[in-house]
Amino acid sequence: MRQKLVAGNWKLNGSLAMTRELIGGILDGMGSSGGVEVAVCPPYVYLPLAHSLLENAAVRLGAQDVCDQDSGAFTGEVSAPMLREVGCHYVIVGHSERRNLYGESDELVARKFAAARRGGLVPILCVGELLEEREQGVTEQVVARQLDAVLDLEGIGAFGDAVVAYEPVWAIGTGKTATPEQAEAVHAFIRERLRAHDPAVAEGLRILYGGSVKGSNAAELFAQPNIDGGLIGGASLQAEEFLAICRAAG
């Protein structure tokens, strides 16, 4: 059985006060986690504070991005060893906002995935198609290309210690969620593609869905056989809404 994971991606939102309030609200409301693993991914500068607030708590910490290099002359970058040192367990790589707004290529994303693992972090690899790609009927080709870039560099074994998040770009922050059937079809495709390389790794891999997940639609998404939790943007900024999603995964 794959343990469900619900991870909050705060994106470019927050402050010291909000970090205290939001994490406090999550911890207050969590009770028993119901077998669900929960993680939060605040902006880099709030990671040390988040780490101290989460001490002895069952909520894991993640970052939203990582450099493909470990150290050196890379102004503005943050490395996997640095993220480890401030308490991160997870790091998101290849989010569509990084790919589409900052021009990250499949190859760069694959190198970030490798750097995360090298530094002892668990990468959450985001894949997903644009609206025009879905309309052209090339969703599977796009997702396959994004997965293959990582497979080519790191091999299937690397997916034994990683998470994949399927996030259709047209569903992110738009309020337009993929239907459970649409999402499940792509999740099943991802698992099948990896199964061809290694059935056990494919079976154990957690594949999260992301894109306008809310308390009200989470349960039907998470009920699909190949949906193992969610990567939550907007709804992760309110403790009550995020907790409702966590409960829906329980």
Binding site for ligand PGA (CB under 6 A): 9, 167, 172-173, 210-213, 231-235
167 noted as active-site residue = yes
Nearest CA to 112 out of 172, 169, 70 is that of 70
Nearer to ligand PGA by Cβ, of 80 and 172: the residue is 172
Nearer to ligand PGA by Cβ, of 190 and 201: the residue is 190
- Which residue bears the tokens 């056989």? 225
197 noted as active-site residue = no
CB of 235 to ligand PGA, least distance (A): 6
Nearer to ligand PGA by Cβ, of 154 and 167: the residue is 167
Residue of 133, 154, 167, 241 marked catalytic: 167
Ramachandran class of 206: left when φ > 0, alpha when ψ lies in -120 to 50, beta otherwise: beta
Task: State phi, psi for 17 to the nearest 5 degrees.
Answer: -65, -45
Nearest CA to 41 out of 93, 82, 2, 4 is that of 93
CB of 46 to ligand PGA, least distance (A): 17
Task: State phi, psi for 88 to the nearest 5 degrees.
Answer: -75, 145
Nearest residue to ligand PGA, scored by beta-carbon proximity: 233
CA pair distance 43, 28, nearest whole angstrom: 22
Nearer to ligand PGA by Cβ, of 72 and 175: the residue is 175
CB of 212 to ligand PGA, least distance (A): 4
CB of 90 to ligand PGA, least distance (A): 13
Neighbours of 129 (CB within 10 A): 23
> Is 98:125 a contact under the CB 8 Å cutoff?
no
CB of 59 to ligand PGA, least distance (A): 17
In the chain, the amino acid numbered 105 is S
Question: What is the CB-side half-sphere exposure of residue 42 using CA atoms within 13 A?
Answer: 26
Nearer to ligand PGA by Cβ, of 42 and 201: the residue is 42
Question: How far lies 50's CA from each of 64, 89, 96, in Å?
Answer: 14, 12, 24
Residue 164, beta-bridge partner list = 125, 207
Residues serving a catalytic function are 95, 167
